[in-house]
Amino acid sequence: MRKVAVRTRLAGLVIALAMAGTVLAADVWRVKDYKQWNASDVSKILNDSPWVKTVLVGKYWQTPAAPGSAASEGGPPAMGGSAATAQFTVRWTSAVTVHRAVARNAEIANAASATDAEGYANQIPDTYDIAVIGDMTPFGVLDTTDAIAQVQNATYLDLKDGSAHIVPVKVELGRGADGKTLEAITFHFAKKNAAGAPVFAADAKGVDFICKFGKFDLKTHFDFTKMTGQSGGVDL
């Protein structure tokens, strides 16, 4: 039970880091041992690396401007809710590089012991995990099994050659400190198909992540040729 609690606590830290600033260091995960990463290195990996995508989605759920306001009359939009888009962070969280960044961040922030951090850093999940973080208003409260299933069925991975259309086997909800506010959704995808073969061929170059839930339409591409860890191998 303790290992599960530690894993959950460390994984939750990726939410807080979703909108953190980035640094100029390039490919720090290749040139430095993860135990030597500093806070800027961690931010780079978790926010500006091949495992992370920033996606803008039309903010159709935004409350329309009140009649007579500057926005409704064609003037400059009001601060804070004027943009027609919402920004989402889509992070491939099952990668060893990402695990190490989360673990190292926890250690730097004194949120985990060196032992717990190391255990999480080298953990290899049974699934490919992708987290979506941002304004989760379009998804509603997701407090029923049916509602969660709808989101699960509306999300998938697609290879451009059409050889794979992969739906998640599990959906994990990340809620705020109040235990209610939805802050992130992590989608877990099986690494093997029903026949026991890897869902991605050895020569796969990348995959599209797509989530179409009602009017919500998010799509981004992960390039496997760039998602390489310190050893030089593809890190998913």
Nearest C-alpha neighbor of 89 from the set 140, 22, 185, 18? 18
Q: What is the mean pLDDT of the chain?
A: 83
Residue 231 lies inside a defined structural domain of this protein:
no
Measure CA 12 to chain center: 11
Q: HSE on the CB side for 44, CA within 13 Å?
A: 15
Least reliable range by pLDDT among 4-13, 173-182, 183-192: 4-13
DSSP assignment string, 165-210: EE--SEEEEEE-TTS-SEEEEEEEEESB-TTS-BSS-TT--EEEEE
Position 218 in a domain: yes
- Cα separations in angstroms, 77 against 65, 134, 138, 149, 173: 9, 21, 22, 36, 33
Q: What is the mean pLDDT of residues 186-203?
A: 93
* Count, residues in the chain: 236
User: Would residue 188 count as lying in a domain?
Assistant: yes
Over the stretch 42-70, which tens digit does the pLDDT of each residue have? 999 999 999 999 999 999 997 655 455 44
Asked if residue 230 is part of any domain, the answer here is no
3-state secondary structure (DSSP) of residue 96: helix
User: What pLDDT sits at residue 163?
Assistant: 65
Highest mean pLDDT of the ranges 58-62, 109-113, 131-135, 156-160: 131-135
CB atoms within 10 A of CB 162: 7
Asked if residue 236 is part of any domain, the answer here is no
Region 216-228 average pLDDT: 96
Q: Which residues contact 79 (CB under 8 A, 6 or more apart)?
A: none
117: containing domain: 2-62+81-223
The answer to whether residue 85 sits within a structural domain is yes
Q: Considering the domain boundaries, does residue 67 fall inside one?
A: no
Sequence-distant (6+) residues with CB within 8 A of 225 are: 205, 206, 234
CA pair distance 88, 172, nearest whole angstrom: 17
Helix (H) or strand (E) holding 41: helix 39-47
For residue 211, the cross-strand partners are 155, 218
Q: Grade residue 121 by pLDDT with cuts at 50, 70 and 90.
A: confident
Q: Are 11 and 95 in contact (CB under 8 A)?
A: no
Place of tokens 């004194």: 110
Give the number of domains in the chain: 1
Confidence band for 112, pLDDT divided at 50, 70 and 90: confident
In a domain, 233, yes or no: no
What are the φ/ψ torsions at residue 40 (nearest 5 degrees)? -70, -40
DSSP-based three-state secondary structure for 100? helix
pLDDT confidence band for 21 (50 / 70 / 90): very low
